[in-house]
Amino acid sequence: MQGNTHNLRIIRAGFPDRPAFGTAVSDAILARVAAGELAATFRLHRPGRELAFSKQDRAAPGFAAAVAAAREAGFVPVVRLAGGRAAAFHEGTLAFAWASPAERPVAGTRDRFEWIAGIVARSLRRLGVDARVGELPREYCPGAWSVNARGRTKLAGIGQRLIAGGAHAGGVIVVGGSRLLREALVPVYAALELDWDPATAGSVEDEAPGVGLEAAEKAILAELEAEFPLHEAEIDPDTLALAERLEQRHLA
């Protein structure tokens, strides 16, 4: 997407104390971008403690036990937009959500994965991390477009949601707090009867001590700015109103 002359809207607003509503905001942005009411939007924010389950998780026999385990660990369970399996967000993570218009959303799936994974990997390399794209054996929320460090620990996961007229590509970068992540996911994955290796869950700070959320945000924005003119924006009232109506679908 190098050389794109269209502005990319950047939204920083997060709702750490209201996780399901925060997810609904990204849902609402996607719907309005797909309808042509908003331009392409990249949301970058700092979440609170939430355990993001997929629709596949919700259909699993152990879902109720997994939700209880998440709450016991101090994480609010939510149902996210994208597929995959359970992933944890907390105050040491950086969440991102890119909503873009697409006439044929399915046809661009690989290109979107490749682009957003590249943005994340190059951003982490700016911070001194040996960041690579690819799935690790027995990683949590496994995916071919995960971003890892040294081929050893997962640092970021990426998923997509496609609707008529648009696409969402979103995920989370674990900047710090890898131990907290593992402690939350162990009982949740046990309840869902999913095999994973907790040693594969790492953080940027594990690889580059002293790097925090602010540095990670700046690195992401620098990579985006290399490809798009960026335009800082706020969440408009119509999007917030739609998010209010969509919040219920993201409650676990």
Would you state the structure tokens that stand for residue 222, as one six-digit string?
């620098």
The pLDDT tens digits for 147-206 are: 999 999 999 999 999 999 999 999 999 999 999 999 999 999 999 999 999 999 999 999
Over residues 212-227, the pLDDT tens digits come to 999 999 999 999 999 9
CATH of the domain at 175: 3.30.930.10
Is residue 245 in a domain? no
Q: Say if 251 falls within a structural domain.
A: no
Domain count, the chain: 1
pTM given for the model? 0.95
> 76: which 2 tokens?
């609010």
In tens, the pLDDT along 108-157 reads 999 999 999 999 999 999 999 999 999 999 999 999 999 999 999 999 99
Q: Which amino acid is at 160?
A: Q
Q: How confident is the model at residue 2 (pLDDT cuts 50, 70, 90)?
A: very low
pLDDT of 3: 41
Asked whether residue 76 carries a pLDDT value surpassing 90, the answer given is yes
> Which tokens belong to 235?
């969440």
User: What's the CA gap between 196 and 139, in Å, rounded?
Assistant: 6
Residue 16: inside a domain = no
Of 170, 159, 189, whose CA–CA distance to 73 is shortest? 189
